[in-house]
A = this chain, B = another copy of it.
């Protein structure tokens, strides 16, 4: 089973949220299990897209309470690890798609690139090594080609 991590900020504008939801839909249609940090913003929008297609979403939560997961997380994993859970998202994902994002997302991008995982970027940090995509479709196409 292929897994894709969708990473991005808990607060994001409408454009990024629509992009995340579309990425989620496309990943689910292509058979990916989608892994996120389980909270709001990009994480929630991507999970909502996956659920709309009947896919599976895993939320690796920073807290130790399932109640903190957004309603589209089917498998909540409360880690109690705080930001350390970012590293687990990277480890659990075959590939990562970064959508917007702030420092937390940057830490995930850096950990992924450090450990040799591919990161596809949509309107995110400009860091050498990120593979830039131009649209949700483009991002998921790239992910499929890379795996």
Residues of chain A at the chain B interface (Cβ within 8 Å): 1, 3, 33, 56, 58, 60, 64, 66, 74-84, 86-88, 91-92, 102-104, 106-107, 110-111, 113-115, 127, 129
CA distance A92 to B84 in the complex (A): 13
What is the chain B residue whose CB lies nearest that of A2?
A: B66
In the bound complex, residues from chain B placing their C-beta under 8 Å from that of A82 are: 64, 80, 87, 115
In the bound complex, residues from chain B placing their C-beta under 8 Å from that of A64 are: 82, 91
In the bound complex, residues from chain B placing their C-beta under 8 Å from that of A127 are: 106
Known pairs A102-B114, A107-B110; A58 contacts B75 (CB<8 A) = yes
In the assembled complex, the CB of A10 is this many whole angstroms from the nearest CB of chain B, namely: 11
Contact assessment for A74 and B1 in the assembled complex, using a CB-CB cutoff below 8 Å: yes
6 contacts between A and B (CB under 8 A): A58-B75, A58-B77, A75-B75, A81-B84, A83-B114, A103-B111
In the bound complex, residues from chain B placing their C-beta under 8 Å from that of A56 are: 75
Known pairs A1-B74, A75-B56, A107-B111; A91 contacts B102 (CB<8 A) = no
Contact assessment for A92 and B106 in the assembled complex, using a CB-CB cutoff below 8 Å: no
Contact assessment for B78 and A91 in the assembled complex, using a CB-CB cutoff below 8 Å: yes
